[in-house]
Amino acid sequence: MWLKKCAAVLVCLMSLAPAVYAAQNQKQAGAADAEKAENDRSPRVPTFALNGDLAGELQVFTTRYEDTFAAIGHDEALGYLELVKANPGVDPWLPGDGTTITLPRMYVLPEARREGIVINLAEYRLYYYTDGGVQVYPVGIGREENPSPLTDAEVTMPLESPAWYPPSSIRASYEARGEYLPRMIPPGPDNPLGTHALMLSEKGYLIHGTNKRFGIGLPVSAGCFRMYNEDISRFVYQVQKGTSVQIIREPVKLGLSGGEVWLEVHRPHEDYSPEDREQLWQATLAKLKAFREQHPDVEVQRQSIELVVDQADGIPTMIGERLTRMASDQGQKESNPEESAEPEQKLYF
């Protein structure tokens, strides 16, 4: 009887062996995948080739019932406000199942040196120029009472698992609310600097991660620049010490691509007040005037310009193009030097 029971147990164990081995292999594979993901330093965002003053392309995304713009932004490396502006009429907290939304990954490049890092506060975006083109990341910036600086700085040091030493102004604000803030917050889940950071030559300012998933692509910080941990943890290994960091505020961007004139306008908030609209309209007119002086051979259309300013959704729109000359006209102008001047820009107002 004892031998029969031992044989039965042995048969049972043998029958379970494949399942046990499969579970062990699956666990080991999962651990290997997790380790690979943790050590993956390739950027989450695409590197777009430059096409004149334009880069990238618009993409679409089909939502599931449980999706929110905050979650989509986190997963797709996009900012909350840029998703809201690009998808008017869609509820950002309950877009619904099967809703097609626009992922705004097309850009008129900011008016700055195309090297290193360029942060445009007006669009809550960081541009990183590489040999292959440009990468674009969403960033959280300073609140109105603690604005981020407009400066031309450089990266001085990358930091892994940074500790946070709150400045006296922030500690004072906590004390005013009756809250205690230590002089040093060690690395970990409670550290507002997240997992990694880049120290800047502009004293007291960093590009860093965060311990809060919501707030990237919004004015939420005390002046520093927040990135998703999934982005900054890879980004710090791309950026070299001494990399230039230009911080600008350019809500209206205008550029040429393949003879086409493109305009991109950003409203500062989710709501669009008449005051903001008027300011953006005046900024657009000033930009067009400067553009006219630099490119006298283009024509643009007022109706297209008005539509872009009226929406201020941060999506590039073609508003005109370069004038083309017929071969016969070229021949006449070459034979008559007095008539060889560039044609004036035509602005259909």
Residues that are catalytic: 208, 224
68 CB neighbour count, 10 Å cutoff: 17
- Does residue 314 contact residue 86 with C-beta atoms inside 8 Å? yes
Produce one character per residue of 109-120: b if its CB has 16 or more CB atoms within 10 Å, e if not: bbbbeeebbbbb
Helix (H, G, I), strand (E, B) or coil at 161: coil
Distance CA 138, CA 193 (A): 16
Please tell me the distance from the alpha carbon of residue 17 to that of residue 311, in angstroms, as a whole number: 64
C-alpha 261/C-alpha 298 separation (Å) is 8
Dihedral (Cα; 285, 302, 120, 242), 10-degree rounding: -80
SS3 of 183-197: CCECCCCCCCCCCEE
How do beta strands 100-103 and 125-130 pair? unpaired
Element (H, E) at 247: strand 244-248
